[in-house]
Chain A
Amino acid sequence: MNLSQLPLLEQAIFVLAALVVLTSFSQLAQTRLTASIHSFAWQGAMVAMVTVLVATASGIPHLYLSALLTLSLKSLLIPWMLHRLVRRLNMEREVETISHPALMVLAGTGLVIFSYWVALPIERLELAATRNVVAVSLSVVLLGLWMMVARRRVVAQVLGFMSMENGLFLAAVASTRGMPLVVELGVAFDVLVAAVLFGVFFFHISESIDSLDVDRLNRLTSLDVKDHQAREETS
């Protein structure tokens, strides 16, 4: 099926979905925390816009509600909370050094290609268009995952986590016209609680290790090693 034969509304959905991936990449390589948070907020706004478009195209009323929910949660409330935390922990000006930014983005590109490969077996004809969306949202999920693995700052990990959620939501909205409302509400509730908990943990972590660098969260493994060294010394 040729994509240009689709109705304009559907094409707009694809364009926006591609832009969501773009924001994922910009988060991946962004070293300044506040800029990453802004880029995350834009991503949330675009996912909300996709939801509105899908709602218009399919005429399912409850999708407007979930669009509103996404907009308020992902692009306003959570970024605002993160902003406040960053300010209270005095990290506004902090710049994280990423050792190999080019390699990181390159690996991200690899993940996008991988996502398309995963979606390849979905070959039933009427699903060809959706295959694209599945691949795009999977790449958003994997890019979020990659960000959590590759970045060293706790805040960056949280952003990765939340943008994974964005990818999931995108998949649900664009490929299946949204999950049943009760499930969406449940998921939104979980995300909200997770965001609050992350905030609580920022304080605990900065209290206990005096930094928000995950490399320093190594007591549990180093305990093991220290023990081992002690044993070797005695023997």
Chain B
Amino acid sequence: MTSPAFVPLAITVFTPLLGMGLLAVVRTLSLAGWLNLGLVIIEFSASLVLAYDVAQGGEFIAHSFHIDAFNVYLVVLTTFVGLTTAIFSRPYMVEVCEQGHITSRRMRLYHSMFQGFQFTMLLALTTDNLGILWVAVEGATLVTVLLVSLYRTPESVEAAWKYFILCGVGIALALFGTVLVYFAAQQVLSDPEQGLTWSTLYTQAANLDLAVMRIAFVFLIVGYGTKVGLVPMHFWLPDAHSEGPTPVSAVLSGLLLNVALYAVVRFKMLTDGALADSLSPNTAGYLMMAFGLVSFSVAVLSLQRQRDIKRMFSYSSIEHMGLMTFAFGIGGPLATFAALLHMLVHSLTKSAIFVTVGHASHIAGTQSIEHIRGLIRTQPGVGWGLLLGVAAIAGFPPFGIFTSEFLILSATMQLWPWLTLLLLIGLVVAFAGLFRNLHPMVYGAIPDGQVPVKANMFPVVVHLFLVLWLGLAIPAFLSSWLDEVTRLISGKGLL
């Protein structure tokens, strides 16, 4: 069965695979940068066509790809952030190359792996097969390990090694969980080949053996949770974010964490189906709430004592991923809607922040917070970008994160009123930590000899504008879209 929407899907998913091979052989640096940009433009346009088709024709399954409202929205987000990051990375990486941090051979590796990363992300999102999902997420680990260690400094090699080992272990546990799901499926389905097909499993979820599914989900949340950055499996995240090149930090925080969380939510939908008639139907949700809350609390506290600007923002990523995991765990339409919105706005804001931070550390010549000073006076664009970005991520009112955090808080208020207090305190503490460090960085006195750098703030402006727009008024098509996803996940729409 081939649906007309399959063509844009194939273009979206397989263009990066093609690009990975192509960019591995292109030797000219500037050509590779432009080619990379061209490829992501194709991916983004194809994903828009795909989203339009799905909006018109509804979900479809073809050639073991499964597209519904949930993943198509993440596909568009992935290609969009990929696009803006490529716009930023082209001149940025040329400059890095000119400064002599990196040889042109490694630049080839960078561009090729950038496309490789896009491919694994898009494959993980669109596939209907839980085994392929695992293969793609593991593939993303392998690709990003190469990207994190790109500069080959002792620190970056160490960060990449820790990342490799920790995520390798985590993802192995996720495979064990997947095997258990397959095992449970085989007792129910007649055709063993269908045993990992998510859409088939979802229709049969109520028949799956609940003891097996419960054990499986524990492995899955620990496994994929490692990639989400949930505490206590989060140690790789600050290292990898701080030592990798800036565009890589942007896509790691903006995309990879989302895709891992997407995998957890897909499995939660299956587990909820299997446990629906049992004594504790919400086991998966409770687990996610617990992991989410612990991550949130630990991250806001760890954020306080960071001295490296990228490390600080990576702890802020852990905080927000914890919040989303918590909200998906609560379940119900309101919390789910809030979590979906939060996924969107956090991705946009965090990748904008990392891009700005890249410029800021370029200006100061270091990533140490103590030595980044007077950004607004040196280069107003970067300074204001950082200020507004942090205001957005801390949850200031006009921005979208305020809306989604407000919704998460109201959902918590309805079901777990006491936890609202914990969340509020956490948000205030995170806010204080961020602003305490931000203030001198943005306003402080300019160190001698600090000069502006060539900065490309276009992606930041676009992202922050979108976040602002989402905070002021969510467009009707987007809210009904998110509502459809909410209906898919929690069984009931919000609107």
- Contact surface of A with B, Cβ cutoff 8 Å: 118-119, 121-124, 126-127, 130, 134, 137-138, 141, 144-145, 148, 154, 157, 161, 164-165, 167-168, 171-172, 175-177, 179-180, 182-183, 186-187, 189-190, 193-194, 197-198, 201, 204-205, 208-209, 217-220, 223-224, 227-228
List chain B residues, Cβ under 8 A from A197: 142, 145-146, 164
The complex places the Cα of A154 from the Cα of B368 at a distance, in Å, of 30
Q: Tell me if B68 counts as interface (CB < 8 A to partner A).
A: no
Task: Provide 10 A-B residue pairs closer than 8 Å at the C-beta atoms, listed in order of the A residue.
Answer: A141-B173, A180-B192, A190-B142, A194-B168, A201-B160, A204-B152, A217-B161, A219-B154, A220-B159, A220-B239
Contact across chains for A217 and B149 when beta carbons are under 8 A apart: no
Q: Tell me if B187 counts as interface (CB < 8 A to partner A).
A: yes
Contact across chains for A171 and B195 when beta carbons are under 8 A apart: no
List chain A residues, Cβ under 8 A from B353: none
Besides A172-B179, A189-B135, 7 more A-B contacts (Cβ < 8 Å) are A137-B176, A154-B161, A171-B180, A176-B179, A183-B129, A194-B164, A223-B155
Find residues 117-148 in chain B having any chain A CB closer than 8 Å to their own CB: 129, 131-132, 134-135, 138-139, 142, 145-146
List chain B residues, Cβ under 8 A from A144: 172
Q: Tell me if B53 counts as interface (CB < 8 A to partner A).
A: no
A176-B195, A204-B152 given; A148·B165 CB < 8 A:
yes
The A interface, classified by DSSP as helix, strand, loop or mixed, is: helix
Residue of A nearest to B215 (CB): A118
List chain B residues, Cβ under 8 A from A224: 307
The complex places the Cα of A134 from the Cα of B183 at a distance, in Å, of 10
Q: Which of B18-26, B206-214, B407-415 contacts A (4 or more CB under 8 A)?
A: B206-214
The complex places the Cα of A118 from the Cα of B222 at a distance, in Å, of 15
Residue of B nearest to A208 (CB): B154
List chain A residues, Cβ under 8 A from B168: 161, 194
The complex places the Cα of A220 from the Cα of B215 at a distance, in Å, of 35
Q: Which of A183, A208, A209 has the most CB of B within 10 A?
A: A183
The complex places the Cα of A134 from the Cα of B172 at a distance, in Å, of 15
Contact across chains for A183 and B142 when beta carbons are under 8 A apart: no
Q: Tell me if B393 counts as interface (CB < 8 A to partner A).
A: no
List chain A residues, Cβ under 8 A from B308: 223
Contact of B307 among A119, A141, A168, A227 (CB under 8 A): A227
A122-B212, A141-B172, A190-B138 given; A208·B183 CB < 8 A:
no
List chain A residues, Cβ under 8 A from B209: 122, 124, 127
List chain A residues, Cβ under 8 A from B159: 220
- Tally of chain B residues near chain A (CB < 8 A): 51
Q: Tell me if B352 counts as interface (CB < 8 A to partner A).
A: no
Q: Tell me if B328 counts as interface (CB < 8 A to partner A).
A: no
Contact across chains for B129 and A201 when beta carbons are under 8 A apart: no
Residue of B nearest to A194 (CB): B142
Contact across chains for B187 and A121 when beta carbons are under 8 A apart: no
Contact across chains for A220 and B169 when beta carbons are under 8 A apart: no
Q: Tell me if B175 counts as interface (CB < 8 A to partner A).
A: yes
Contact across chains for B182 and A148 when beta carbons are under 8 A apart: no
A179-B196, A193-B142 given; A168·B175 CB < 8 A:
yes
Contact of A182 among B129, B162, B173, B239 (CB under 8 A): B129
Min C-beta distance of A200 to chain B, whole Å: 9
Contact of B155 among A148, A168, A219 (CB under 8 A): A219
A148-B169, A161-B165, A217-B161 given; A182·B183 CB < 8 A:
no
The complex places the Cα of A157 from the Cα of B165 at a distance, in Å, of 8
List chain B residues, Cβ under 8 A from A205: 157-158, 161
A121-B211, A130-B183, A217-B161 given; A138·B169 CB < 8 A:
no
A176-B195, A190-B142 given; A145·B169 CB < 8 A:
yes
Contact of A186 among B131, B153, B155, B162 (CB under 8 A): B131
Contact across chains for B135 and A190 when beta carbons are under 8 A apart: yes
List chain B residues, Cβ under 8 A from A119: 215
Residue of B nearest to A193 (CB): B142
List chain B residues, Cβ under 8 A from A138: 176
- Contact surface of B with A, Cβ cutoff 8 Å: 129, 131-132, 134-135, 138-139, 142, 145-146, 149, 152-155, 157-162, 164-165, 168-169, 172-173, 175-176, 179-180, 182-183, 186-187, 192-193, 195-196, 209, 211-212, 214-215, 239, 242-243, 305, 307-308, 368
The complex places the Cα of A154 from the Cα of B164 at a distance, in Å, of 12
The complex places the Cα of A160 from the Cα of B169 at a distance, in Å, of 10
Contact across chains for A164 and B211 when beta carbons are under 8 A apart: no
Residue of B nearest to A172 (CB): B179
Contact across chains for B169 and A175 when beta carbons are under 8 A apart: no
List chain A residues, Cβ under 8 A from B152: 204, 208
The complex places the Cα of A175 from the Cα of B215 at a distance, in Å, of 15
The complex places the Cα of A190 from the Cα of B145 at a distance, in Å, of 13
Min C-beta distance of B75 to chain A, whole Å: 20
**5 smallest A-B Cβ distances: which pairs?**
A183-B131, A186-B135, A208-B154, A121-B211, A204-B157
Contact of B176 among A121, A141, A223, A227 (CB under 8 A): A141
List chain B residues, Cβ under 8 A from A154: 161
Contact across chains for B157 and A201 when beta carbons are under 8 A apart: yes
Min C-beta distance of A166 to chain B, whole Å: 10
The complex places the Cα of A176 from the Cα of B175 at a distance, in Å, of 13
The complex places the Cα of A180 from the Cα of B189 at a distance, in Å, of 14
Contact across chains for A168 and B176 when beta carbons are under 8 A apart: yes
List chain B residues, Cβ under 8 A from A217: 158, 161-162
Q: Which of B145, B162, B176, B186 has the most CB of A within 10 A?
A: B176
List chain A residues, Cβ under 8 A from B179: 168, 171-172, 175-176, 179
Contact across chains for B183 and A175 when beta carbons are under 8 A apart: yes
List chain B residues, Cβ under 8 A from A141: 172-173, 176
Contact across chains for B149 and A186 when beta carbons are under 8 A apart: no
List chain A residues, Cβ under 8 A from B138: 187, 190, 194
Residue of B nearest to A202 (CB): B161
Contact of B135 among A167, A183, A219 (CB under 8 A): A183
List chain B residues, Cβ under 8 A from A123: 211
List chain A residues, Cβ under 8 A from B139: 190, 193
The complex places the Cα of A106 from the Cα of B105 at a distance, in Å, of 48
The complex places the Cα of A136 from the Cα of B93 at a distance, in Å, of 49
Min C-beta distance of A187 to chain B, whole Å: 6
A121-B211, A183-B131 given; A201·B161 CB < 8 A:
yes
Contact of A176 among B160, B164, B186, B242 (CB under 8 A): B186
Contact of B169 among A127, A164, A190 (CB under 8 A): A164
The complex places the Cα of A13 from the Cα of B186 at a distance, in Å, of 20
